[in-house]
A and B are shown apart, each in its own frame.
Chain A
Amino acid sequence: MIYQLDFWLMVILVLFAILALEVRDLLAAVGVLTGFSFLMALLFAKLGAPDVALTEAALGAGLTGVFLLLALVFVGRESED
């Protein structure tokens, strides 16, 4: 176990989550969410769950980003609230 790596992964994960909620540009929000999923996959792999990590890397960091970008084509880039 490398506790420092765990700690900094967790800190960056929380920062990415807050940034994805707070950023005004929805395209940037999708990018940050994809980065969040990738860090999540790293953390899963480090916690000894390679099966879950593979799923998270393929679905969360791959296809979810594409589907959200495709939704942005229809709803536009600007956040309403």
Chain B
Amino acid sequence: MTSRFESVFLFVVARAMVPLIQVFAFYVITHGHYSPGGGFQGGVMLAASIILLRVSMGDESYERFPREAGIVIAGFGALAFALLGFMSMLFGGNFLEYALAVPGMGADELRYWGIFFAEVFIGFLVWGALVAIYDALETGGVE
């Protein structure tokens, strides 16, 4: 979008809402392994906060969150999730079995932290992918 309407209300409300949405998204992601929510829902909320910035601030938001950042974050999340899954295969377990040989941690604690980091990486993946979809739609598919 090339033009935008100057609206003080839209700008102030967006600036007030974005941090609250992001804090709630981090809560949903980090509590995803034992309460409703998880990486996907929290990642959607993070993407929604960035898209609210995109809609309300227009071209200014590309200075805060550049156009290339979305696909980079999605790639990081996917790669880290795949590495986390394959890491337990190096120790003789199945994909995403969290059968790591970390000294001083029982199997239950390993599974707890394994699911926690899987949720965090899924959150990165969904966040970056949805912002990248928005950016591709906004330009009509051409750079």
Where the two chains meet, the residues of A that have a C-beta atom closer than 8 Å to any C-beta of B are 50-51, 53-55, 58-59, 62-63, 66-67, 70-71, 73-74
Contacts and interface: CB of A to CB of B under 8 A. Distances in A.
Nearest to B32: A51
B48 A62 contact: yes
Interface residues of B, number: 19
Q: Which of A58, A67, A71, A74 has the most CB of B within 10 A?
A: A58
Secondary structure type dominating chain A contacts: helix
Nearest to A67: B137
A46 to B, nearest CB: 14
Interface string B39-61: 01100110110010001000000
Contact of A66 (B1, B38, B134): B134
A37 to B, nearest CB: 13
CB-based closest 9 A-B pairs: A50-B36, A58-B44, A51-B36, A54-B41, A70-B137, A62-B48, A54-B37, A55-B41, A59-B44
A70 B140 CA distance: 9
Interface of B: 1, 28, 36-38, 40-41, 44-45, 47-48, 51, 55, 130, 133-134, 137-138, 140
Secondary structure type dominating chain B contacts: helix
Given A67-B137, A74-B140, A62 B37 contact: no
Contacts of A59: 44
A55 B55 contact: no
A51 B51 contact: no
A63 B1 CA distance: 17
B130 A63 contact: yes
A70 B51 CA distance: 11
